[in-house]
Chains A and B, each alone.
Chain A
Amino acid sequence: MSTMDKYVSKTVQAIPPSGIRKFFDLVSQMEGVISLGVGEPDFVTPWHIREACFYSLENGYTMYTSNQGLIELREEIALYMKRHIGVSYSPGREILVTVGVSEAVDLALRAIIEPGDEVLVPEPSYVSYSPGASLAFGVPVAVETFAEDEYRIRPDMLEKSITPKSKVLILAYPNNPTGGIMRKEDLESLVEIIIKNDLIVISDEIYSELTYNGQHVSIAAMPGMKDRTIVFNGFSKAFAMTGWRIGYACGHPDLIGAMTKIHQYTIMCAPIMAQKAALEALRHGESEMRKMVENYNYRRKIMVSGFREIGLECFEPQGAFYAFPSIVNTGLTSEEFSEKLIMEEKVAVVPGNAFGVMGNGHVRCCYAASVADIEQALDRIGSFLARHRKG
């Protein structure tokens, strides 16, 4: 077969392949694997939400919605945001319903970035931000975060990464893969720097309901920050609705309007059945969601305490559903560790460097798994460590 590589755009060619693909291929051919490598809830979408979707289909809701999304959904989102982060958004002009937060982040980057603008991306972080910035012809610039700071962004590290070309700061807390969060005072320490350098903040708060000790705080709620922050949230994690692909962005009408312009030409609208389900989730899903969060919290403690018991150093995650233990005392790289762990013990984890170079020396373990599986995985990792620990 002749190669067609020369037809692929340089921008796309320059994007590195996904760091987890190799592990996916490895694991999917094996039997008896306990996977801590997933990035989604182990709950199925609550039945009443699925049922609301059936009902909407039965009643013939199979058409386009307005570009911005169903107005009743946007109204419900406005009420939710007011409750959840204490910020008021107008359903008419300040909220856009998207195909997952993934689409929303892409829209925002494309709407804001001029070629060559720099996008500050905390590392380690979710895999999409840097490629998203590159695809918008921006330049991703890492803001390093460290386990000893509980993976919060330190003001000095942020300042160090800022140049005259910096335009956007991505905040993604609670954080995938680390489980780190930014508390009120941590956010406050960044506000002055953000305003001084005239940055726009893209705040991906998809894991915000999964905050375990205390209340989630959004930077949009800080004085002077609402207009320069676009907040992203969705239904995937809190309501166990990953496959529905439904999320939203809230922000200044000019920015949401610009995003809507791209959205209307490229996507048109989010699927109406997912919007109907999302509406049910916001109206009646709170109590079941709280139960799921309590359940994650239990398993978070089991995993962290288990890691400490078997001698794997682990910062206590405060949000999301991941633990990010350090594996440096094995002398293995993240990829070697993950590969050997699958081959020898049949436990799948994601190597930390899939989330940027700052993830080296760590692996991401998801605790959205049954208690029995977590305990079994801990046993297996324990015997793996006994064989591989250095010195």
Chain B
Amino acid sequence: MELEKKILKILEHDAKISPKTMAIMLDEDEAHVREVLANLEKEKYILGYNAVVNWDRFGENGVEAMIEVKVTPVREVGFNGVAERISRFPEVRSVYLMSGTYDLSIVVTADTMKEIALFVSHKLSTLDEVQSTVTHFILKRYKQDNFIFESPQEDKRLVISP
């Protein structure tokens, strides 16, 4: 399990590290690292890999909202049933069960605000278990998944020093 954990830690930080490099970092055989990695993917310890994109720089004007949702838990399945239903909508990026004054926090992306409004009024609010929603539009992204957006960390060191 130790090796699996180490591999996951490395990839969580930088998914582009090659199995060959990982093998060197961890004093392991490359074939073995590939095997472990394949297994982690097969067993869904690793669900996928995606890039953290700063779309603003590209001039794209997509919108994203975080929606607080209060729901009525259902006998037998609790919050899971409704959370799984909400997860199936393609416009929903993330779904979390929260402690506190609401139950589910969901992140929704779309091309326009109107699309999100329609999603809330037509799809989300109409679910039987959903009692109420509060929609917060994301205005600006400063940091996401460890990456700082506006001032990426640049190397300020002298190029040569003793």
A-to-B contact residues, CB < 8 Å? 18, 20, 23-24, 27-28, 33, 35, 37-40, 42, 44, 126-128, 176, 298, 301-302, 305, 348, 350, 354, 371-372, 375
Contact = CB atoms under 8 A, between A and B. Distances in A.
Nearest to B17: A371
Chain B: interface secondary structure? loop
B159 A24 contact: yes
B24 interface: yes
A176 B161 CA distance: 12
Interface pairs A-B: 4 shortest CB-CB: A37-B160, A298-B25, A35-B159, A39-B161
Contacts, number: 54
Given A44-B153, A371-B17, A39 B25 contact: no
A28 B157 CA distance: 11
Contact of A40 (B10, B14, B161): B161
Contacts of B160: 20, 23-24, 27-28, 35, 37-38, 348, 350
A29 to B, nearest CB: 10
Given A20-B162, A354-B162, A38 B24 contact: no
A288 B16 CA distance: 23
Interface in B10-42: 10, 14, 16-17, 21, 24-25, 27
Interface of B: 10, 14, 16-17, 21, 24-25, 27, 153, 155, 157-162
A38 B159 CA distance: 6
A289 to B, nearest CB: 17
Given A302-B24, A371-B17, A42 B157 contact: yes
Given A127-B162, A302-B25, A354-B162, A371 B14 contact: yes
Nearest to A20: B160
Contacts of A302: 21, 24-25
Nearest to A295: B13
7 contacts: A24-B160, A38-B158, A38-B159, A38-B161, A42-B157, A126-B162, A302-B24
A44 B156 CA distance: 9
A128 B16 CA distance: 40
A112 to B, nearest CB: 23
B159 A39 contact: no
Nearest to A338: B160
Contacts of A24: 158-160
A305 B24 contact: yes
Contacts of A128: 162
A222 B88 CA distance: 66
A260 B58 CA distance: 58
B25 A37 contact: no
A23 B160 CA distance: 7
B11 to A, nearest CB: 12
B21 A375 contact: yes
Contact of B24 (A27, A301, A354): A301
A327 to B, nearest CB: 17
Given A44-B153, A371-B17, A348 B159 contact: yes
Nearest to B16: A372
